[in-house]
Amino acid sequence: MLKPNPTAQDCIAVLAELVKFDTTSRNSNLDLIEFVRAQLDAIGIGSRLTFNEEKTKANLWATIGPDIEGGIVLSGHTDVVPVDGQDWASDPFELTERDGRLFARGTCDMKGFVACALTHAQAMANAELKVPIHYAFSYDEEVGCVGVKGLIKDLQENLPKPLAVIVGEPTSMQIVGAHKGGHSFVTTVRGLDGHSSAPDLGANAIFYAARILNFIEKLRERIKAEGDPTNGFDPYYTTVDCGVIKGGTARNIIPALCEFSWGFRNVPGDDTHAFAQEVFDFIEKEIEPELKAISPECGVSHEEQHYLPAMIPDETSPAETLLRHLTGLNQSGRVAYGTEAAHFQNAGVPGVIFGPGSIKQAHLPDEYIDISQMEACHDFLLKLTDWAATTGKTS
């Protein structure tokens, strides 16, 4: 299937295979990983897998070219967001072309990039690369960039250090050099139930949760006021959200339990641990003593849901230098969504986010990628291969 002189049409044919695997994050991605591994195996390229604890999901790492430091990582996640409750005009797991667009779940986010990378494997292998090109295909990105951590650990412990990573999330083939981080929590307020006619005999968990949320909302306003409008992010400040609240059973029962999820999307430099601590301190000082006075069983607890560091901009990093060199682009953007690039950056591998398709189509029904974007990614990979085979230098 992988050809020595692939065309953009070949990349699309591989994409058609990849979207058939329903790799919604709650499912195993092993069928897709086995497919990729078999394709690479057929042309003599070995793969290295790192698994989740249950061994139901895997990351794949493969190297084309010499087994040395200084390689370029092409990083993509294999999981996709659910299609539940979405109205699609065609089967989300069957690639369908309409008006120059390719529709299916994962086309832009981000099997399009993975397909292009994989399609070029044979051509890269034949090019006698001086600079190795690595594939890093992960699981569970859409649930908080969880899977890639195992791959990066393996990379740090066992593999030659790469020079740079290209995370192929959809940026419409523009260079993105920084993104916001994310940090989220579920907070549970345990009150005391009772008949609503006698509120003083219970502790209304919803009212206490409302006071905490009120504090969080004020914190949100303050953080916004402290933001730097010139930092290039949109919006330019760390945002605070609360997306779910649950509690209570009936109006005439004092609710004993209220649970809500909340969190931050932070610009680089803003410390979400410190912000969260302000919330915890408020609860410890203002909320818990009142609850404990009603019953020692009452209280508030927190569970951290996910933490993704922000990606810090570095316009002189080897990753940005290489991308500017290969594309002729001379600026890099900022985005408000998190990516695996931050984990690579924390592990000492600088990166850029650069991939086909638009984030505007990600996660939506009728997700698509423009054929022209697949062509642009195909062209870019030809240039990257040529660079890795010849000069390997950016100046």
Catalytic positions? 79, 141
> How far is residue 340 from each of residues 128, 136, 231, 316, measured CA to CA in Å?
29, 11, 21, 20
CB of 337 to Zn ion, least distance (A): 8
CA dist 275 → 208, 279, 281, 339 (Å):
20, 7, 10, 22
Q: Which of 22, 79, 109, 370 binds Zn ion (CB under 5 A)?
A: 109
Provide the terminal-to-terminal Cα distance of the chain, rounded to the nearest Å: 36
Residue 95 in contact with residue 19, Cβ under 8 Å? yes
Burial 123-154 (b: 16+ CB within 10 A, else e): bbbebebbbbbbbbbbbbbbebbbbbbbbbee
Instruction: Give the contacts of 184 (CB within 8 A, at least 6 positions apart).
Output: 261, 262, 263, 264, 304, 305, 306
Binding span for Zn ion by CB under 5 A among 17-25, 103-111, 272-280, 350-358: 103-111
Residue 168 vs 191, nearer CB to Zn ion: 168
Q: Are 205 and 189 spatial neighbours (Cβ–Cβ below 8 Å)?
A: yes
Give the tokens for residue 111. 């099997």
Least Å from the CB of residue 137 to Zn ion:
12
CB of 242 to Zn ion, least distance (A): 24
Binding window for Zn ion (CB under 5 A); candidates: 109-117, 120-128, 172-180, 211-219: 109-117
| Euclidean distance between CA atoms 157 and 151, whole angstroms | 10
Site for Zn ion in 303-362 (CB under 5 A): none
DSSP state of 128: T
β-partners of residue 102 are 97, 369
Evaluate whether 329 touches 383 at the Cβ level (below 8 Å).
no
Which range touches Zn ion (CB under 5 A), out of 162-170, 292-300, 316-324, 366-374?
Answer: 162-170
Residue nearest to Zn ion (CB): 109
- Smaller CB separation from Zn ion, 102 or 110: 110
Instruction: Using the rule CB under 5 A, give the single segment among 92-100, 115-123, 153-161, 166-174 that binds Zn ion.
Output: 166-174
By CB under 5 A, which span of 35-43, 108-116, 159-167, 213-221 interacts with Zn ion?
A: 108-116
Location of structure tokens 């949320």: 213
> If DSSP codes are grouped into helix, strand and coil, which group holds residue 35?
helix
Write the CB contacts of 318 (distance below 8 Å, at least 6 apart in sequence).
163, 164, 350, 394
Beta strands in 14-90 (DSSP E): 47-51, 58-64, 72-77
Residue number, 140 or 169, with CB nearest to Zn ion = 169
Q: What type of residue is 290?
A: E
Minimum CB separation from Zn ion for residue 309, in Å?
17
What is the identity of the amino acid at 183? Answer: H
Q: Which two tokens stand for residue 101?
A: 């667009």
Determine if 140 is a binding residue for Zn ion (CB under 5 A): no
- Least Å distance, CB 268 to Zn ion, is 20
Which of 285, 282, 276 is closest to 304 using CA atoms? 276
Least Å distance, CB 109 to Zn ion, is: 4
When the beta carbons of 122 and 361 are compared against Zn ion, the nearer one is 361
Q: Least distance to Zn ion from the beta carbon of 364, Å?
A: 13
For residues 309 and 128, what is the distance between their CA atoms, to the nearest angstrom? Answer: 36
Select 25 or 184, whichever has its Cβ closest to Zn ion: 25
Q: Which stretch binds Zn ion (CB under 5 A): 104-112, 232-240, 248-256, 353-361?
A: 104-112
CB of 98 to Zn ion, least distance (A): 23
User: How many amino acids of this chain bind Zn ion (CB under 5 A)?
Assistant: 3
Subset of residues 171 to 200 that bind Zn ion, contact rule: CB under 5 A: none
Judged by the rule CB under 5 A, the positions of this chain that interact with Zn ion are: 109-110, 169
